Amino acid sequence: MSARIVVLGGGPAGDVAALRAAQLGAEVTLIERAQLGGTCLNWGCIPTKALLASTDLLRKIRRAQEFGIEVDEPRVNFAKMMSRKEDIVARQRAGVEAACKRKKVEVVHGQGSVASEAVVVNGKRFPFDFLIVATGTEAAGLPMLDMSQPSVITSNGVLRLETIPKRLLVIGGGVVGCEFASLFVALGSEVTIVEVLPRLLAGIDSRTAAQFQKMLEKEGVTILTGRTVKEILQYRRDGLVAALDDGTKIDADKLLVSVGRLPQTRDIGLEGTGVKIDNRGYIETDDYLKTANPKIYAVGDCRGGLQLAHKASAEGGRAVENALGDKPIAMDWSVIPNCIYTHPEIASVGLNADTAKDAGFEVKAGTARVVGNGKALAEGEPDGYVQIVADAKTDRILGATIIGIHAVEIIQEIAVAMSDALTMDELGAVIHAHPTVSELVMDSAEQGEGVAPYLS
């Protein structure tokens, strides 16, 4: 008899877990309370990138004269932008549904609750030999805000806007807040970011964060760091007035709350299974993704760590391989690319110059500025740099940070190099095609070794 795998949650972690389990010959049931694809496909990665692609094109059109092309001032059809976004999401979702059908994964829609080695959905029991919990997270609100007001939105609400807000107040200068600020400033909104920390993007190194902030301010975004929203003085259907802790008043059409996400792990029956949940709501697992209950694994955002779709998918596949196999393999979270889809793009992997020093390494860094790259100049994007950091004693690559054109594509090369334990010297010796933006990887590695023809 085939092993019975039940997957609770149909996002990137759950989808991959279900499909991989089916590949391994299990009898699979995938339970999702909303739509397959989860936050990433329906409310996060895919729809936001579709909108950001529109504003990237808009920026290019506005600069067409620099490229020798004369056009009139472009007009934004926001409804068409949103419709295109929905079409892309629908096509992607249909692909997930088709894959489940091909692999004979039973998809059940409804709220699932764990009870006595089964998951109950709408009164029907789905027994399991192994349960993969992939319930994800939801956008967090703030207790001092009335989240029911139409002028207060989260990242979900942004994707349902019918018009472009003239004035957008963003609480939170993390990845989500900065991506939406980059989006709406291009669409003509007056954008203000309020961030409690002393700088934006706390997850990246201070040099890159400072350069990005200057670029965002150059585009017209007002950035108020080290500040908080103290209270809302007035709610209106068409806006609100917020007061900051220093007395500043900000009138906005929409207030976007981007202060993180909360795990969806409570009230689904896990408390009675022996599974341990920490005080923040995240499920505790070992490095093999197994919980305190040997029949239950947890993957993706609901177990904490970096909240990235590709990390979640990797965990989903590994969890079922460990559950069904006889030689479990621990997860390695040391090489996971982290991408920020602002303008310009930012991408990182492993350690950066700050965190490598904090970890006790003697750091050797190699840097190449985008302004010296012919392909980037040809594309009209001269801003940014690639920085690779290595252990000065062994020359092994510890990580990298890229800010600039195609950063989210180029970072993969350095991730592969790290996975293969390459040194900075070995990466710099790899011949790169010319002219390409990815030459910056070779240039930065050579610069770190002191052998770059134009930089050393």
Residue spans per domain, the chain: 4-138+262-324, 152-259, 344-449
Q: Is it the case that residue 235 has pLDDT exceeding 80?
A: yes
Q: Is it the case that residue 203 has pLDDT exceeding 80?
A: yes
Contact indicator for 313, 13 with CB cutoff of 8 Å:
yes
Q: What is the mean pLDDT of residues 218-247?
A: 96
Cα–Cα distance measured from residue 121 to residue 32, given in angstroms and rounded to the nearest whole number: 10
Q: How much is the pLDDT for 116?
A: 87
Cα–Cα distance measured from residue 28 to residue 118, given in angstroms and rounded to the nearest whole number: 13
Q: What is the mean pLDDT of residues 324-338?
A: 96
Side chain identity at 390, as an amino acid letter?
Answer: A
Residue 133: pLDDT band by 50, 70, 90 thresholds?
A: very high
E-only strand ranges, 75-181: 106-109, 112-114, 118-121, 124-127, 130-133, 137-139, 152-153, 167-171
Q: Is it the case that residue 1 has pLDDT exceeding 80?
A: no
Side chain identity at 290, as an amino acid letter?
Answer: K
Answer CATH for 344-449 from 2.160.10.10, 3.30.390.30, 3.30.565.10, 3.40.47.10: 3.30.390.30
Kindly report which listed range (218-227, 266-275, 404-413, 421-430) carries the lowest average pLDDT score: 266-275
Cα–Cα distance measured from residue 283 to residue 286, given in angstroms and rounded to the nearest whole number: 10
Strand partners, 225: 195
Fold of 4-138+262-324: FAD/NAD(P)-binding domain (3.50.50)
Residue 12: pLDDT band by 50, 70, 90 thresholds?
A: very high
Q: How much is the pLDDT for 245?
A: 96
Q: How much is the pLDDT for 228?
A: 96
- CB-side neighbour CA atoms (13 Å) of 377: 8
**Contacts of 105 by beta carbon, 8 Å cutoff, 6+ apart:** 18, 19, 22, 28, 29, 30
* CATH architecture of the domain covering 152-259: 3-Layer(bba) Sandwich (3.50)
pTM over 0.75: yes
Q: How much is the pLDDT for 213?
A: 97
CA dihedral 170, 172, 177, 182 (to 10 degrees): 60
Side chain identity at 142, as an amino acid letter?
Answer: L
The CA-atom distances, in angstroms, between 85 and each of 136, 181, 450 are 22, 18, 46
Q: Is it the case that residue 455 has pLDDT exceeding 90?
A: no
Q: What is the mean pLDDT of residues 140-152?
A: 95
Q: Using omega within 30 degrees of 0 as the cis cutoff, is the peptide bond preceding 337 cis?
A: no
Q: Is it the case that residue 141 has pLDDT exceeding 90?
A: yes
Contact indicator for 288, 331 with CB cutoff of 8 Å:
yes
The CA-atom distances, in angstroms, between 385 and each of 26, 359, 447 are 47, 23, 12
Q: How much is the pLDDT for 317?
A: 98
**Contacts of 426 by beta carbon, 8 Å cutoff, 6+ apart:** 417
> What order do you get walking across the sheet with 124-127 strand by strand?
112-114, 118-121, 124-127
Residue 456: pLDDT band by 50, 70, 90 thresholds?
A: confident
pLDDT digit string, tens, across residues 85-101: 999 999 999 999 999 99
Q: Match 């009164």 to its residue by tokens.
A: 123
Matching fold, domains 152-259 and 344-449:
no
Q: What is the mean pLDDT of residues 38-60?
A: 96
Catalytic positions are 434
pLDDT digit string, tens, across residues 153-198: 999 999 999 999 999 999 999 999 999 999 999 999 999 999 999 9
Kindly report the CA angle at 205 between 200 and 209, in degrees rounded to 5?
Answer: 35
pLDDT digit string, tens, across residues 260-313: 999 999 999 999 899 999 999 999 999 999 999 999 999 999 999 999 999 999
Q: How much is the pLDDT for 421?
A: 97
pLDDT digit string, tens, across residues 382-409: 999 999 999 999 999 999 999 999 999 9
Average pLDDT score, the chain = 97
